[in-house]
Amino acid sequence: MSASPKARPERLITDIASLRARFPALDQQVHGKRLVYLDNAASSQCPDVVLETMLEQQSRNHANVHRGVHALSQRATDAYEGAREKVRAYLNASGVDEIVFTRGTTESINLVASSLGGSLLEPGDEVLITQMEHHSNIIPWQLVCERTGARLVPAPITDRGEIDLDAFEKLLNERTRIVAVAHVSNALGTVNPVERIVELAHRAGAYVLVDGAQAMAHMRVDVQALDCDFYAFSGHKMFAPTGIGVLYAKRALLERMPPYQGGGEMILTVSFEKTVYNALPYKFEAGTPNITGAVALGAAVDFLSTIDFDALAAHEHRLLDYATEKVLALGAHVIGTAESKAGVLSFVLDRVHAHDVGTIVDSEGVAIRTGHHCAMPVMERFGVPATARASFALYNNADDVDRLILGLKRALEIFA
């Protein structure tokens, strides 16, 4: 394990508002108005350093990795493996062999469901999830349960949108082999008590996967402190581009798990009789990877490492509180009122369907998400077909909220 190549910056950035200028995408007009981007839970914008890194990587160092003796291949390999080390250090994983690059959260979860689930689960075993999961933390488990005869069990959530921990604890039993739960809910904003969930699951003898897709842009995650067995996330929700993500997994588990996909990179020797798989993490990285994506994710991690996360959390909570108060004043119903929330505000207006809200605020230059947010069971739980969702990132400010509120007022006016 090598030390982080860059020393930690002396002083972390506490002036969160100053970071906005680093995101060129925000500096544009939409429908003749300054863009207000409040769809960060779907995908966040990239800061200048990430964009510059991508251009540099693609224009100077483009070559395949681990395959060539030539200079460019060496540079590409160094950059790719350098990014892996950055991610390792950022997550405080014990080794780079525990960091598998994937296409994103969805692929990370499918990898675990298919490889671990496929080899571990037996008829009558149980996979415990929650009612607030994103479809990508439901369907991979559903598929492997169908294949193995295991049962998928959803733990209920409360009216505020929190996991009902008592019910969760009661559902854990000796048949529970895997627990899969979101760190932060994309539809409700709830920050789940994952430390406690990991502890309970381990006590019951189950492995735990944490879906960190919505957590990474808002909080620091230490996988050793959390002690989860798997942690999955996507680059594009943490200021990197789409098409790159990570599966962190404990080494001992990765060693025992069968490969997920076959191809180049993941082998040592191949004959038609027998193939010897490559060392970790390459056993799980079949084919030419998204090299530029990984390098860009490394740059995003560097960027995040310069920020004071206490200041960031305070900034985002101020925004969330301000926005919540403002939409409530308009008579909106907020879906997801957990004690501990990240910057996600899901709401419905009585008179205006979420989809119409989305179109009207868009015409005011404000980007929000409307619909079921890939969490249909959540919509079902709260008895709404769809919600409007404003989700905040570090670059948003009170002005953005005011513009959203103007857009909502316009919607209420049209539907008066």
Partner 1 sequence: MNELRDLYREVILDHNRSPRNFGEIDGADRVVEGVNPLCGDRLTLYLKLDENRIDDIKFKGSGCAISMASSSLMTERVKGATVEESLSLFEKVHEMLAGQGNAIDELDKLAALSGVREFPTRVKCASLAWHALKSALSGTDDRVSTE
Give contact residues for ligand PLP (rule: CB under 6 A).
104-106, 134, 136-137, 182, 186, 211, 213-214, 234, 374
What six digits make up the tokens of 212? 């960190």
- Measured distance CA(156)–CA(153) in Å, rounded: 10
Q: Which of 323, 309, 285, 267 is nearest to 81 (CA)?
A: 285
Q: Where are the beta strands (DSSP E) in 201-350?
A: 207-211, 230-234, 245-249, 267-270, 275-277, 333-335, 344-348
Nearer to ligand PLP, 186 or 292 (CB): 186
Q: Where are the beta strands (DSSP E) in 72-134?
A: 99-102, 126-130
Contact 247, 102 (CB under 8 A): yes
Work out what residue 105 binds among ligand PLP, partner 1, none; the CB cut-off runs from 5 to 8 Å by kind. ligand PLP
CB of 356 to partner 1, least distance (A): 5
What six digits make up the tokens of 141? 């488990």
- Measured distance CA(346)–CA(187) in Å, rounded: 7
Nearer to ligand PLP, 246 or 412 (CB): 246
Q: Which of 36, 111, 116, 352 binds partner 1 (CB under 8 A)?
A: 352
CB of 5 to partner 1, least distance (A): 44
Place of tokens 């947010």: 373
Work out what residue 234 binds among partner 1, ligand PLP, none; the CB cut-off runs from 5 to 8 Å by kind. ligand PLP
- Measured distance CA(40)–CA(38) in Å, rounded: 6
Q: Does 258 participate in binding partner 1 (rule CB under 8 A)?
A: no
DSSP reduced 3-state for 99:
strand
Work out what residue 114 binds among ligand PLP, partner 1, none; the CB cut-off runs from 5 to 8 Å by kind. none
Nearer to partner 1, 31 or 70 (CB): 31
Work out what residue 57 binds among partner 1, ligand PLP, none; the CB cut-off runs from 5 to 8 Å by kind. none
Q: Which of 6, 62, 147, 355 binds partner 1 (CB under 8 A)?
A: 355
Sign of the alpha-carbon torsion through 106, 302, 323, 408: negative
- Measured distance CA(230)–CA(52) in Å, rounded: 31
Q: Does 389 participate in binding partner 1 (rule CB under 8 A)?
A: no
Q: Does 164 participate in binding partner 1 (rule CB under 8 A)?
A: no
Give every CB contact of residue 50 below 8 A, 6+ residues apart in sequence: 239, 240, 241, 296, 299, 300, 303
Q: Which helix (H) or strand (E) holds 34?
A: strand 33-34
Q: Which residues pair with 178 in a beta bridge?
A: 127, 207
CB atoms within 10 A of CB 95: 12
CB of 371 to partner 1, least distance (A): 5
Work out what residue 374 binds among partner 1, ligand PLP, none; the CB cut-off runs from 5 to 8 Å by kind. ligand PLP
Q: Does 371 participate in binding partner 1 (rule CB under 8 A)?
A: yes
What single string gives the DSSP state of each residue in 160-174? Answer: TS-B-HHHHHHH--T
Q: Which of 142, 305, 337, 363 binds partner 1 (CB under 8 A)?
A: 363
Nearer to ligand PLP, 115 or 186 (CB): 186
* Contact set for partner 1, span 23-42 (CB under 8 A): 31
Q: Which of 143, 286, 367, 376 binds partner 1 (CB under 8 A)?
A: 376
Nearer to partner 1, 118 or 371 (CB): 371
Q: Which of 386, 390, 394, 401 binds partner 1 (CB under 8 A)?
A: 386
CB of 340 to ligand PLP, least distance (A): 16
What single string gives the DSSP state of each residue in 179-212? Answer: EEEESB-TTT-BB--HHHHHHHHHHTT-EEEEE-
Q: Does 409 participate in binding partner 1 (rule CB under 8 A)?
A: no
Q: Does 169 participate in binding partner 1 (rule CB under 8 A)?
A: no
What six digits make up the tokens of 220? 């620091």
Q: Which of 3, 1, 52, 43 is nearest to 24 (CA)?
A: 52
Q: Which of 113, 213, 294, 354 binds partner 1 (CB under 8 A)?
A: 354
CB of 300 to ligand PLP, least distance (A): 14
Q: Which residues are catalytic?
A: 374
Q: Which of 248, 300, 280 is nearest to 54 (CA)?
A: 300
Nearer to partner 1, 198 or 354 (CB): 354
Nearer to ligand PLP, 102 or 278 (CB): 102
Binding site for partner 1 (CB under 8 A): 31, 352-356, 359-360, 363, 370-372, 376, 379, 385-386, 414-415
